[in-house]
Structure 1
């Protein structure tokens, strides 16, 4: 079963890679009339679909393992299985390392999710590899479904992590806390030029970060001065946080009314 479980998982990997490729290509399209904020969330949809595929694979593996534990199964030839699992682990490690590197460099949720998926395959392949060796040494074929169950647990953990990473931005979740802190530090650099800021909001869409806030300035400042200040802050944030888009709403500070005499 452990070999079959890896075959099922590998089929899912292929489908997930095609979905990731399509989503990355689509997400880089420029904004248009129907999608004025771009197509970034297609990567989050891709990651969510990939997580569901992993869950399905895990359920199928667990089902087959339980059947073999309860009803037994045909003995398996471990010879070629050991070789195949070892080769699969090395190939998946190389590919996953590349995908994770490119995904992080380009802030691509889809590529990073696909890399995480394949990196999990490395650990599952190694688990199956060890299981097949133990079968060859001990002759105990019950090790096979037990190894498959352990593979399924690892797969479910990967699916859970991918779901959290990919799905939350579909609900307009805030950007990473580290980036939010960077925004606050940048605003502090300009605090002598405005009175306060409030309603700082952020959301993530694929690789893009959307940031908006209200900036309160002195009513003595001209429109041009307010405009130049906003341009400077926006440019500073957008150069610090890659693929960010900043919108600032200016508010004049309230002035006390003069006493009537």
Structure 2
């Protein structure tokens, strides 16, 4: 089974049990903070289902309608997950605000604390597994799901500490305060997800570190190429796309130019995963070549000097 699909299934199973458990305990306690955590877990469950669907679709090969593959389904899924988080935050606030107006009896504090502690532990373990696979496969959908669960870890711990505080102080107003804090943390996670996914959908360039790796790889061929320009990069789901124009000595044969481009593509693939490189080879326009000189005769070439700087 595809490791991305496998770990997405794990997230669905864990979130199903946690949502049911939190809802049952939240209503038995009459605690808005515990119910807010149940809502959060329910949204995490829906997000896990969306992530599961997205990674299955994104694994499909390119076809006639999607020449560049289906990678951006993961970016769309991540944005949908973020919007679900925003909806959960709004719902939590709506439930918490009325609680500030008066005292509310909160019961079964011990059970509530136990459920929150178990929830934090389970979500921590599952989020670590999700994040590990997300990094290995560079999957935005799984990364979004992992961030959901990691947020749930922090919020569950917050509700746990709130329940403990209510037990020792008797101040039930702590309950809606914690619910509001949970909502704010959720909104921050939503913002991060939307920002990262929109960058890919809008074809923002690759991160600076990855651009640097491409430049370094090309520099290693300074004895075979004159220069390069029009370097463009973008990302689609976990897939990276790079294209550039490569300026080579006009004395090179077509076969030599093709082999050189192939080798550069292979070297970039060794350093960056899931990358598709397209190189347009251009002959140098200088009129300095006579016979069949080597590139070492290009030492005075202005274009090559720019490249070596």
Answer whether TM exceeds 0.5 for this pair. Answer: yes
The Cα shift of 1:181 comes to: 0.7
Q: Please, what TM-score do these two structures have when normalized by structure 2? A: 0.81
Aligned 8 A contact 2:104 2:172 in 1: no
Give the distance between the partners of 1:245 and 1:68, measured in 2 at CA.
Answer: 55
Matched, 1:246 2:257: no
Aligned 8 A contact 2:103 2:173 in 1: no
Give the distance between the partners of 2:103 and 2:254, measured in 1 at CA.
Answer: 79
The Cα shift of 1:103 comes to: 0.9
- Residue range with higher mean Cα deviation, 59-68 or 192-201: 59-68
Q: Please, what TM-score do these two structures have when normalized by structure 1? A: 0.95
SS at match of 1:191: coil
Counterpart of 2:142 in structure 1 is: 111
Matched, 1:174 2:215: no
Matched, 1:13 2:44: yes
SS at match of 1:36: coil
Counterpart of 2:248 in structure 1 is: 217
Q: 1:142 aligns with which of 147, 168, 173?
A: 173
Q: 1:80 aligns with which of 97, 111, 134?
A: 111
Moved over 6 A (4+): none
SS at match of 1:193: coil
- Residue range with higher mean Cα deviation, 246-255 or 36-45: 246-255
The Cα shift of 1:160 comes to: 1.1
Counterpart of 1:127 in structure 2 is: 158
Q: How many residues align?
A: 257
Give the distance between the partners of 1:196 and 1:161, measured in 2 at CA.
Answer: 37
Give the distance between the partners of 1:159 and 1:187, measured in 2 at CA.
Answer: 38
Matched, 1:163 2:190: no
Counterpart of 2:306 in structure 1 is: none
Give the distance between the partners of 1:73 and 1:105, measured in 2 at CA.
Answer: 49
The Cα shift of 1:198 comes to: 0.4
* RMSD (Å), alpha carbons: 1.4
The Cα shift of 1:256 comes to: 3.9
The Cα shift of 1:33 comes to: 0.6
Unaligned runs of 5+ in 2: 1-31, 289-309
The Cα shift of 1:73 comes to: 5.6
Aligned 8 A contact 1:99 1:112 in 2: yes
